[in-house]
Amino acid sequence: MPKKIKFAIIGCGRIAQRHAEHINKYGVLKAVCDIEVDKAQELGRKYDAMVYQSIENLLLNEKDIDVVSICTPNGLHAEHSIKALNAGNHVLCEKPMAIKVHDCGEMIKAAERNNKRLFIVKQNRFNPPVVAVKKAIDEGVFGTIYSIQLSCFWNRNPDYYKNSWKGTKELDGGTLFTQFSHFVDLIYWMIGDVKYVYSITENFGHKKIIEFEDTGVIALKFYSGALGTINYTVNSYSRNMEGSLTVFGEKGTVKIGGQYLNELEYQNIENFKFKDLPAGNPVYNYGQYQGSMSNHNLVYENIIDVLTNGGTISTNSFEGLKTVEIIEKIYSSVK
């Protein structure tokens, strides 16, 4: 029987609970860390893991850790990932990889320098309709891709941001980073790199609550020649409304919709039909709001496959960097 991979978690907030659940299923959680020690103690008790208040102490004392899962605020991802990589651990970093392209580059250099894997969480890539459409695009089913339209209409009320790092420029970075980086990743994954963008953003409903926009309208031109749009907001009244992706190609049109890119809503494709797609996982329910699809189990399955069977990494660090680069382009082009 192969040995169980040993994990540590840095940052014991809400998303860490999901990570711990899947680590417990696929490996063993050896240590947890949070500057708010009560959060770390609660998680540590649940999984019989060692508890630390400092990442330095954890890395110094836990020499047999294989993978460190970074679940801290966005603005700390780079610092914490680099420390873990330099200590000789593989790293799984929550989305977004970082909030600056330069920091992503430093993370990649640290992984290369230490000959360690740097995994990035992009769980929406595993949604069944997304998997099917990506495969069809790669196989040329749609012919030339003309355009892609992304709609992200969610609700984030004031309580979501209360007494939190969320909503701050320094640790959150912007609505595209925290709420919709998964969706931006899918545009890059399916269509390719973005040549230039035009952006308009505004804060309508969250003045004095967040330090950046709550709504954006984006036009994109891809290196492939395709055009794209992103329309996003966290002002959908009282609840999440939609997360959808529509692809217009030479030989067909398809729309992945639902609230979380979890339903195939429309298809009209020359001599082709998507059939019998498997059901996806449910969404994350945090009580007052819902998050993305709960595909972290597939993220951890991929880690185990890569580290024990020589499998192919599902989201590599370069792709994580490209998502951050596109978001940085969007924000730097705001009119």
Q: Which residue has the tokens 């730097």?
A: 332
CATH 3.30.360.10 correct for 127-291: yes
pLDDT of res. 279: 74
Lowest mean pLDDT among 186-190, 245-249, 285-289, 323-327: 285-289
Nearest to 289 by CA among 154, 96, 137, 197: 154
More confident of the two residues 260 and 136? 136
Q: Is 267 left (phi over 0), alpha (psi -120 to 50) or beta?
A: beta
- CATH class of the domain defined by 6-120: alpha beta
Distance set, CA 57 to CA 8, 35, 38, 283 (Å): 12, 12, 17, 35
223 by DSSP, 3-state: which?
Answer: coil
Average pLDDT over residues 239-245: 94
pLDDT of res. 123: 87
What whole-number distance in Å separates Cα of residue 269 and Cα of residue 248? 10
Average pLDDT over residues 188-198: 97
Average pLDDT over residues 48-64: 98
12 by DSSP, 3-state: which?
Answer: coil
Average pLDDT over residues 14-43: 97
Average pLDDT over residues 91-108: 98
User: pLDDT class for 187, splitting at 50, 70, 90?
Assistant: very high
Q: What are the structure tokens assigned to 279, written together?
A: 């059901």
Q: What are the structure tokens assigned to 126, written together?
A: 């595993």
For the chain, the structural domain boundaries read 6-120, 127-291
Average pLDDT over residues 209-230: 98
pLDDT of res. 36: 97
More confident of the two residues 135 and 2? 135
**E strands, 131-275, in order:** 145-153, 194-202, 215-222, 227-233, 242-249, 252-257, 263-269
User: Is the pLDDT reported for residue 96 higher than 90?
Assistant: yes
263 by DSSP, 3-state: which?
Answer: strand
pLDDT of res. 302: 95
Q: What's phi and psi for 152, nearest 5 deg?
A: -130, 100
pLDDT of res. 285: 52
Query: How many beta carbons lie within 10 A of that of residue 35, not counting itself?
Result: 13
pLDDT of res. 258: 87
pLDDT of res. 289: 47
Residues with Cβ within 8 Å of residue 131, at least 6 apart in sequence: 125
Q: Specify the pTM.
A: 0.94
Q: Tell me if 6-120 shares its fold with 127-291.
A: no
Q: Using one digit for the tens of pLDDT, what is the confidence trace for 60-80?
A: 999 999 999 999 999 999 999
Residues with Cβ within 8 Å of residue 45, at least 6 apart in sequence: none
Asked if 69 contacts 299 with a C-beta cutoff of 8 angstroms, the reply is no
150 by DSSP, 3-state: which?
Answer: strand
Residue 48's H or E segment, with its range, is: none
Q: How much is the mean pLDDT over the chain?
A: 94
